[in-house]
């Protein structure tokens, strides 16, 4: 049996994804980032060929992002700048490590904590109804079609933390998410527009929102 390298350090890495990487599924992205960690030569914890790495919430296929996170567990201390340099040298095209910081090994996982996100949505919004009128609605019911034709109705209004329009072509949307309240940002924008239109979406930030509404970055 192979020795299981024990985790004594944990680095939280934030990546961007652009270009061809945007076409990846979440599982494909996990595979690409795991491979980068393996090739980097960093002392990753784990054993049996499986590195101990935890990932943040999934991003939808087609989105650009500046907020893809991976917690890399290490069996030895590593300088943060050195880790970024090693990962940058081996990342697949379309992925770039942006920053890193140490977090305690025993901290809760990203997946369990994060529950809000910032998005930039680009499109032609010049003929849209006033956004203030849309946000004044007491309910914004969006129907999601699930497998086997089952429909699920979700009220998007309490999920919208903020939504603003800039210059007729850019919407900034801060959106809550979690079990039984996951909505793609473009669904909300199309509901405001009253039509399905092509949109370009970028995830800008992820947050943990506490019970008092305070937002914290990972």
- Could you tell me if residue 4 is inside a domain? no
Which range, of 40-54, 72-86, 122-136, 195-209, averages the lowest pLDDT? 40-54
pLDDT tens, 6-32? 778 999 999 999 999 999 999 999 999
Residues 77 and 40 occupy one common structural domain: yes
Average of per-residue pLDDT values in the chain:
93
Map tokens 């370009």 to a residue: 200
Give percent helix, percent strand, percent coil of the chain, each to the nearest 5. Answer: 25, 35, 40
pLDDT at 4 over 80: no
* Domain span holding position 146: 114-216
**Based on the domain organization, do 165 and 198 belong to the same domain?**
yes
Can you spell out the DSSP letters for the chain?
----BPP-EEEEEEEEE-GGGGG--HHHHHHHHHHHHHHHT--B-EETTEE-EEE-S---TT-EEEEEEEEEEESS---HHHHHHHHHHHPPTTEEEEEEEE--TTSPPHHHH--EEEEEEES--TTPPPHHHHHT-S--EEEEEPGGG-EEEEE-GGGEEEEEEETTTEEEEEEE--TT----HHHHHHHHHTS----EEEEEEEEEE-TTS-EE--
Residue 1 has pLDDT above 50, yes or no: no
Same domain as 67, residue 126: no
Q: In total, how many domains does the chain have?
A: 2
Q: 52-92 pLDDT, tens per residue?
A: 999 999 999 999 999 999 999 999 999 999 999 999 999 99
Domain boundary residue among 83, 112, 141? 112
pLDDT for 81 equals: 96
Domain boundary pick from 81, 112, 143: 112
């Amino acid at each position: 049996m192979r020795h299981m390298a024990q985790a004594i350090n944990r680095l939280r890495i934030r990546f961007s994804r652009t270009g061809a990487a945007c076409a990846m599924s979440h599982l494909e992205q996990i595979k690409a980032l795991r491979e980068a960690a393996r090739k980097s030569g960093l002392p990753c914890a784990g054993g049996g060929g499986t590195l101990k790495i935890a990932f943040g919430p999934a991003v939808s296929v087609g989105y650009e992002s500046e907020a893809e996170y991976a917690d890399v567990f290490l069996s030895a201390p590593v300088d943060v700048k050195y880790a970024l340099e090693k990962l940058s040298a081996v990342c697949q095209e379309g992925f770039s490590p942006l920053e890193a910081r140490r977090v305690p090994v025993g901290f809760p996982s990203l997946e369990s904590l994060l529950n809000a996100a910032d998005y930039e949505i680009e499109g032609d919004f010049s003929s849209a109804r006033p956004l203030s009128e849309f946000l004044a609605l007491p309910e914004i019911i969006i129907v999601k079609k699930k497998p086997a034709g089952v429909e699920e109705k979700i009220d998007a209004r309490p999920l919208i933390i903020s939504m603003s329009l800039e210059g007729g072509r850019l919407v900034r949307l801060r959106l809550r998410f979690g079990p039984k309240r996951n909505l793609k940002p473009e669904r909300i924008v199309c509901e405001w527009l009253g039509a399905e239109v092509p949109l370009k979406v970028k995830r800008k930030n992820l947050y943990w929102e506490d019970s008092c509404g305070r937002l914290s970055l990972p």
